[in-house]
Amino acid sequence: MRRRAVIALGGNALIKEGQKGTIYEQFANTREIAKSIVEIIRDGWDVVITHGNGPQVGSILLQNDIAKDVTPAMPLGICVAESEGLIGYMVQQCLSNALKKANIDRPVVALITQVLVDRNDPSLTHPTKPIGPFYKEEEAMKLLKEGYHLTRQPKGWRMVVPSPDPKTIVEADIIRKMLDDNIIVIASGGGGMPVIEKEDWGLDGLEAVIDKDLAAERLAESIDAELLLILTNVEKVYLNYNTPQQKSLDAVSIKDLKEYYMQGHFPAGSMGPKVLASLRFLEHGGQKVVISSVEKGYEALEGKTGTHIHK
């Protein structure tokens, strides 16, 4: 069996800071990323690629909101599915082109992916994840009365939604078969669409979002991946990040990392879920986690940079 890896691309990989998010920017960024994924595949890795969708789903939610009096607004789960189509198409086309250019004959395809969560997940009754457009005071009050959860942020009010813990990737069996068939799979984009299992009904979607790194970890477990490569906007994981005591982690054991995690070095909105995903993966059969920037992904895998987490 060839070596399997899950590559998790940060949401900011496709729309960089300062960019507006036009399709030309997104395709140009995707083509750059595709080049380094090709190097990873050339090195003998069978990969499943997953990606964030923050800016894209934010834009889709905004479009739905602005146009809601003219055409019915779609709920969050559906917007996530739309973003899987959008981003999946870009990654599929750019990676496929880059592989052909490198004379590597491997098919690539993006799958619509559902992620099962526990129907009793505490986050479902206590939503905390801010998403979508900013609202003015008046509109926010109206939404609050309608039963939505909102939070006040410096730029205005925003909806908050549950971010339940992913349990399993619904399409995991399919993905495993596709890997056996030598297919490169893009899956669980934007964390996948959260679903619960209802008796006498089956799967049902939720108004929630799943952290894409925690979903990537479940994906990696389910395909017996050896490696989880998390690519984000920093080159390494840091202790005391953004303080005078900031210190990068080059190689770290699961034991030490767990200690740092418990000490509160990694905030919930950024490095926290990535570190939690790393710890889970290594405790559930994974061999290695590498965290680095999108730009340095291949160099990190070669051991030249990044944070390397081992058992």
Report the chain's C-alpha Rg in angstroms: 19
Strands 193-198 and 114-117: parallel
Name the one residue in this structure whose structure tokens are 């680095």.
292
Q: Catalytic residue at 12?
A: yes
DSSP classification of residue 230: E
The verdict on whether 286 is a catalytic residue reads no
Q: Does 168 bind its own copies (CB under 8 A)?
A: no
Please say whether the dihedral angle defined by the alpha carbons of residues 23, 26, 29 and 30, taken in this order, is positive or negative: negative
We find the least distance from the C-beta atom of residue 205 to its own copies, in angstroms, to be 7
Place of tokens 């996530």: 80
Footprint of its own copies on residues 80-139 (CB under 8 A)? 81-86, 88-89, 92-93, 96-98, 100-101, 107, 109-112, 114
Please say which residue, 190 or 273, places its beta carbon nearer to its own copies.
190
Judged by CB under 8 A, the stretch of 38-46, 139-147, 165-173, 297-305 that binds its own copies is 165-173
Helix (H) or strand (E) holding 36: helix 23-42
Nearer to its own copies, 143 or 174 (CB): 174
Report the Cα 181 to chain-centroid distance in Å. 25
> What does residue 42 show for φ and ψ, rounded to 5 degrees?
-60, -30
Q: How far is the CB of 297 from its own copies (least distance, A)?
A: 21
Q: Smaller CB distance to its own copies: residue 92 or 292?
A: 92
Nearest C-alpha neighbor of 2 from the set 229, 170, 183 = 183
Whole-number Å distance between alpha carbons of 113 and 190: 10
The span of 41-49, 58-66, 154-162, 233-241 binding its own copies (CB under 8 A) equals 58-66
Residues 185-214 contacting its own copies, CB under 8 A: 186, 193, 195, 201-203, 205
Contact call for residue 18 and its own copies (CB under 8 A): no
Task: Please confirm, yes or no, whether 274 is among the known catalytic residues.
Answer: yes
Among residues 71, 125, 242, 243, the one that binds its own copies under rule CB under 8 A? 71
Other beta carbons less than 10 A from residue 185's beta carbon: 27
Backbone φ, ψ for residue 248 (5° rounding): -80, 150
If one asks whether residue 173 binds its own copies (CB under 8 A), the answer comes out as yes
Q: Indicate if 11 belongs to the active site.
A: yes
Interface with its own copies includes 12 (CB under 8 A)? Answer: no
Give the count of beta carbons closer than 10 Å to the beta carbon of residue 226.
18
Q: Is 129 a catalytic residue?
A: yes
The answer to whether 168 and 115 have CB atoms below 8 angstroms apart is: yes
Beta strand 156-161 pairing with 150-153: antiparallel
Catalytic residues, by residue number, are 11-12, 129, 212, 274
**Interface positions with its own copies (CB under 8 A):** 20-23, 59-60, 62-64, 66-67, 70-72, 74-75, 77-78, 81-86, 88-89, 92-93, 96-98, 100-101, 107, 109-112, 114, 170-171, 173-174, 177-178, 181, 183, 186, 193, 195, 201-203, 205
